[in-house]
A and B are shown apart, each in its own frame.
Chain A
Amino acid sequence: MLRGLRAILGWTEDRSGAIGFVAPILTHRVPRNAKWWYVFGSATLMFFSIQLVSGVLLATLYAPSAADAYQSLVYIDTQVPMGWMLRAIHGWSSNAMVIMVVVHMLQVFLHGAFKFPRELTWMVGVLLLFCTLALAFTGQIMRWDQDAYWGLGIGASIVDRVPVIGNQLRNIMLGGPYIGGATLSRFFALHVFVLPGLTIALVGLHIALILKNGVSEMPKPGEVVDPATYRRDYESRTHRTGVPFWPDAAQRDMIFCGLALIMVVGLAAFYGPFGPNGNPDPTVIDANPRPDSAFLWIFAALALLPAQVETFLLLAAPPVIVLGLLAVPLISNRGERAPTRRPVSVLVMLVICTALAALTWLGVTSPWSPVMDAWTSVPTPVRLVERLTPLQMQGALVMQNQQCRNCHALDGTGGQRGPDLGDVGSRLSWDQLVRQVQQGGGNMPAYGKTLSAAETVAVVAFLQACRTDGQPPSSIPGALQRSASPDLPPVASPVAAPAAAP
């Protein structure tokens, strides 16, 4: 029995040379000090493999046509045994892959592992980062729900801003002059053929480069990289003190990958799949499109960029980011690797990470977005209601009715775009309030043409009553103390106050 097996194995090895090919790869020597820091690359690869397997399985169930995609997802979620779990694993593992790619990259950057002779490994890695992000973005589109539809809309609007050929590019991207079946087909091809194929090829290249140049050692302050001597030194060191990748170093990768995988499957089982979030029906204008987590920072940046430079930055930033990342090892491929000796690099990295984290957080809360149903769903605080006169009460209702609450909070509840008005009465005087309401400004629409004189008086009377307990209303010392007086128009602003018939 055993002998037979061995014979077959021997025959196969003789004809194919497979073991002879793989064994040295598995047992190549890696530095002894390559410890837990080095597991993230393997984890990325593992999640990518999960994506390949679960993705192929999803492709057997998914209908890549705009007319059926949404329903096929519903079908997978509700009818196919374990179908929801399949989708959940694909979704959660994709997030995990993005995270691992980024962590892996940070580690490599932090330890200066991109320096000579591993520049090309880094560059291929950068391409892999963008492949991963592209897979995540196109994957969100496969969901073919509202978020996918309007996410494409945002993408199309950005491409449309390219000078001269923007419109043509956009039509190429969409496969026509509008978002439809052709668009989904295009992105399907990207998501399941082009990008995975490219990624597999680049992963192969990445690993080949790693094998050629060896895994970098943990950086030691003072141990500088000098292209003239590095290779020789590295080889002799790993030869002396290195350990075979398999099984010595691989065990850590396996432990980490195993734990990460269990966590992802746990998350998938617990929270289920992402979306789909509502039909991709462009006539349903109640949509509230949000990108997936990996792109929230872009979503935030788009809200915060100043309008004058927005188009320029939108179009200039992507190539600058890609080229900048690619160029990292060209900027400095020698010298110190230890983070303690590269304060500028580490600082730049920290700043970028903080900025990305902050933007992502802003993207989650998106304080700039009006809360579309706040005016009907977020009540006027009871603390205020209990002390209002009938006129002020009407003012509170004007404030709801005119959708002010979509952008303004009172005592912390409501939209966050404008300031919280829970204490505005102690900040702004009557005249200032009238002017702000009528003329807008500071990114607030002017309500002068919309509100009647009575509504203006009422809402300003209400705003004046919005104070923390015991605070007097704001006033300008010596100026006429104005307040809601019956039968008077709210005159204040030099700009047309609507004339009320007394």
Chain B
Amino acid sequence: MNEGCQGCGCGGGAGGGESRRSVMFKLGAGLMAVGGAVASVPIFGALVAPGFRRYGNTWLDIGAVGDYPAGETRLAKFAIPGASPNDGETATAAAWVRGMEGDKFQVFAVNCAHLGCPVKWFQQSRLFMCPCHGGVYYEDGSRASGPPPRGLFEYEWKVENGRLLIDAGLLPGLQETA
């Protein structure tokens, strides 16, 4: 037994007539490979699972329509649906809501389209400015200046029973609109 292991381990050069050892070695290697593969599914499964799950936005209530008067852009804060209890403060998110005439809205993610920093709204100049690399957007979310490759990410919205709902929850990024 001991001998056999050594023989195989030292380079697998089992000569003629040693076929039994070679079979044993191959069997062992094969079993290890299968066992490893079976074991790694649960081990790494949890690690990479977030990459395979399909996450979706949900309709979230961000307040009464009257909270977002026409001509103003206000910050809406909301809880991320399905957050886990140890998310703490990070279980919340925010969006900029631009109220327009006739109960129309535009809802923007606070994340800059450049690299995700939080843009800040300036009521006076009607601009969003990003503190990181200086991206600037107009009040309708279109890019005004700076490095962002596009305008702000927009969330879908709808009004139900006088409440404003937005389709949100995921961290916005260039590959999804919001």
Contacts and interface: CB of A to CB of B under 8 A. Distances in A.
Contact of B87 (A180, A407, A446): A180
B129 A181 contact: no
A16 B115 CA distance: 56
Interface stretch (B17-25, B32-40, B51-59, B63-71): B51-59
Contact of B173 (A170, A283, A288, A307): A170
A204 B96 CA distance: 52
Contact of B134 (A171, A368, A402): A368
B145 A157 contact: no
B90 A149 contact: yes
Contact of A156 (B83, B116, B127, B176): B116
Contacts of A175: 50
Contact of B92 (A177, A182, A282): A282
A286 B130 CA distance: 10
Interface stretch (B4-12, B97-105, B118-126, B159-167): B118-126
A445 B86 contact: no
Given A172-B51, A447-B125, A285 B110 contact: yes
B123 to A, nearest CB: 10
Contacts of A126: none
Nearest to A186: B47
B28 interface: no
Contact of B115 (A149, A158, A166, A282): A158
Interface in B64-100: 75, 77, 80, 83-94
B48 interface: yes
Contacts, number: 195
Q: Is the interface of A mostly helix, strand, loop or mixed?
A: loop
Contacts of A370: 129-131, 134, 136
Contacts of A369: 131-134
Given A157-B114, A369-B133, A286 B147 contact: no
A177 B55 contact: yes
A158 B169 CA distance: 20
B51 A406 contact: no
A177 B94 contact: no
Chain A interface category by residue count: 35 or more
Interface stretch (A60-68, A420-428, A477-485): A60-68
Given A310-B149, A372-B120, A157 B174 contact: yes
B67 to A, nearest CB: 15
A403 B127 contact: yes
Contacts of B86: 65-68, 181
A197 B143 CA distance: 45
Contacts of B94: 282-283, 285
Nearest to A146: B118
Contacts of B53: 171
Interface of A: 65-70, 149-150, 153-154, 156-158, 160-161, 165-172, 174-183, 279-289, 299, 302-303, 305, 307, 310-311, 368-370, 372, 375, 401-404, 406-407, 417, 440, 443-447, 450
8 contacts: A68-B88, A166-B175, A178-B169, A180-B91, A287-B118, A289-B132, A368-B146, A370-B131
